């Protein structure tokens, strides 16, 4: 409910409450006084906004300074640099291209890496490392491991080749993140050898791992990859020389002993063909020469004026036949070489796939046998 005493609630009139006559007369008198004081009728506080600023202070003009007169430079010619002096033609600093900058940074990184490797090589002693345990001849080295792979996953994958005694996944000492390689110690040496032969190139967590023996405690003067040593050709140079396939690098059999054991390869049929080709060509040449000699003997016995002409014709025919045979033999050799190279690559690929399939089947058979033994032990 509203207040009946409120002026806006009264019905006799709308609007603000009425003013007294005395107040109205006072307002009119004030307005008249203001109008008499200033023509605009503005109040004093508003008129102050339009008052002018005080006048500027007078400053006398500055006096002009006398400058020395212009003169020539003849008196300074004796101080000029002469040709041949270092100040006459200072060396021009050439700009550095992006390629040169990248090469300079690359060389600096190589130098820093060499210095760091040299300093760490003095501290490298795998024989006295507190983190290294077990028999080195029963230890397997596994590289190119995924960073998400755990020790439990590695043990589960490699225990198919035999009982495992210890698995060590190497982590960074500062950050604690995995370095991408691990060491597996088997209880028996034969199981380690089996894993070395069959587990190379096995896929774990969508990455094919590389398997090798431990070389830090078995190979004298061994240095790992981080200290400038190591094996393989995955980081030799550019993409055209780096190794692109997974697994260990195939060793080339030479007179010197190789780093890893490698079975001798059978002699390739292409090389046998190339070695036999000169013998066959020599036999054909001897046969043609004997045939020409017999024909010449018959011509001597028969005689006649056309004997020299026939001899020249036979000689030209023999030369043309030898030239055609040589060209045809060269083309045949190139064709056989290309065909042999393709067949050799295809055979090597099929052998690698068959060996990998055989390793997978053996691994599955070993896993099934281990699972059956565990089930029997559990039933007992």
Write down the domain spans for the chain.
131-220
Lowest mean pLDDT among 24-38, 109-123, 140-154: 24-38
- Greatest mean pLDDT among 33-37, 86-90, 374-378: 86-90
Q: In which band, very low, low, confident or very high, does the pLDDT at 165 lie, cut at 50, 70 and 90?
A: very high
Helix axes 307-379, 189-198, angle to 10 degrees: 130
Say if residue 6's pLDDT is above 70.
Answer: no
Distance CA 335, CA 341 (A): 10
Alpha helix (H) ranges present in 268-306?
269-302
- Which of 289, 282, 215, 200 lies closest to 245 in space, CA to CA? 200
Q: In which band, very low, low, confident or very high, does the pLDDT at 129 lie, cut at 50, 70 and 90?
A: confident
Neighbouring residues of 226: CB distance < 8 A, sequence distance ≥ 6: 117, 120
State the average pLDDT over residues 305-326: 61
Other Cβ atoms less than 10 A from the Cβ of 178: the count is 18
* pLDDT value for 261: 39
State the average pLDDT over residues 306-331: 61
- Greatest mean pLDDT among 112-116, 229-233, 237-241, 265-269: 112-116
* Positive/negative CA dihedral, 14, 15, 17, 18: negative
SS3 content of the chain, % helix, strand, coil (to 5): 50, 10, 40
Q: What percent of the chain has pLDDT over 70?
A: 65
State the average pLDDT over residues 202-224: 88
Question: Pairing relation of β-strands 139-143 and 164-171?
Answer: unpaired
Question: Pairing relation of β-strands 178-186 and 203-204?
Answer: unpaired
State the average pLDDT over residues 95-109: 93
Instruction: Give 10-21 pLDDT, tens digit per residue.
Output: 555 555 555 678
- Which of 185, 202, 181 lies closest to 138 in space, CA to CA? 185
Say if residue 141's pLDDT is above 60.
Answer: yes
Lowest mean pLDDT among 213-227, 241-255, 361-375: 241-255
State the average pLDDT over residues 262-267: 42
The C-alpha torsion from 99 through 102 and 103 to 108, rounded to 10°, is 160
Distance CA 26, CA 20 (A): 10
Phi first, then psi: give them for residue 362, nearest 5 degrees.
-65, -40
More confident position, 222 or 336: 222
- Which of 259, 163, 248, 243 lies closest to 211 in space, CA to CA? 248
More confident position, 136 or 129: 136
* pLDDT value for 339: 67
Distance CA 157, CA 184 (A): 11
Place of tokens 């906004």: 49
The structure tokens listed for 23 are: 């107040």
Distance CA 57, CA 53 (A): 12
* pLDDT value for 269: 45
Fold of the domain spanning 131-220: Alpha-Beta Plaits (3.30.70)
Lowest mean pLDDT among 127-131, 184-188, 243-247: 243-247
The C-alpha torsion from 68 through 73 and 75 to 77, rounded to 10°, is 160
More confident position, 9 or 349: 349
* pLDDT value for 138: 92
CB 285 within 8 A of CB 322: yes
Distance CA 112, CA 154 (A): 35
Please state the length of the chain: 380
pTM for this predicted structure: 0.42
* pLDDT value for 41: 72
Say if residue 264's pLDDT is above 60.
Answer: no
State the average pLDDT over residues 158-185: 91
């Amino acid at each position: 409910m509203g207040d009946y005493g409120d002026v806006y609630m009264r019905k006799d009139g709308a609007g603000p409450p009425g003013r007294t006559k005395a107040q109205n007369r006072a307002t009119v008198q004030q307005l008249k006084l203001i109008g008499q004081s200033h023509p605009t009728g503005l109040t004093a506080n508003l008129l102050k906004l339009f008052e002018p600023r005080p006048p500027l202070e007078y400053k006398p003009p500055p006096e002009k300074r006398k400058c020395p007169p212009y003169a020539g430079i003849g008196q300074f010619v004796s101080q000029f640099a002469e040709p041949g002096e270092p100040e006459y033609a200072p060396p021009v600093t050439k700009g550095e291209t992006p390629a040169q900058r990248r090469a300079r940074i690359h060389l600096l990184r190589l130098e820093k890496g060499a210095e760091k490797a040299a300093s760490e090589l003095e501290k490298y002693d795998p024989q006295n490392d507190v983190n290294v345990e077990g028999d080195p001849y029963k230890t397997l080295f596994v590289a190119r491991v995924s960073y998400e792979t755990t020790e439990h996953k590695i043990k589960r994958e490699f225990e198919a080749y035999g009982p495992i005694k210890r698995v060590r996944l190497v982590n960074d000492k500062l950050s604690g993140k995995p370095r991408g390689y691990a060491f597996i110690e088997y209880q028996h040496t034969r199981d380690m050898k089996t894993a070395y032969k069959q587990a190379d190139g096995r896929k774990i967590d969508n990455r094919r791992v590389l398997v090798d023996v431990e070389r830090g405690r078995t190979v004298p003067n061994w240095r790992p990859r981080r200290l400038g040593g190591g094996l393989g050709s995955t980081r030799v140079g550019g993409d055209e020389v780096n190794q692109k396939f997974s697994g260990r690098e195939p060793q080339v059999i030479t007179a010197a002993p190789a780093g890893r054991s490698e079975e001798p390869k059978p002699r390739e049929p292409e090389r046998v063909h190339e070695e036999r080709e000169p013998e066959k060509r020599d036999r054909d040449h001897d046969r043609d020469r004997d045939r020409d000699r017999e024909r010449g003997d018959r011509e001597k016995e028969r005689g006649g004026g056309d004997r020299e002409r026939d001899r020249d014709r036979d000689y030209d025919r023999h030369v043309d036949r030898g030239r055609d045979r040589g060209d045809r033999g060269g083309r045949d050799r190139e064709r056989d070489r290309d065909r042999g190279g393709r067949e050799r690559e295809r055979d090597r690929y099929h052998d690698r796939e068959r060996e990998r399939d055989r390793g997978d089947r053996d691994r599955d058979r070993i896993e099934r046998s281990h699972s059956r033994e565990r089930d029997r032990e559990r039933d007992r």
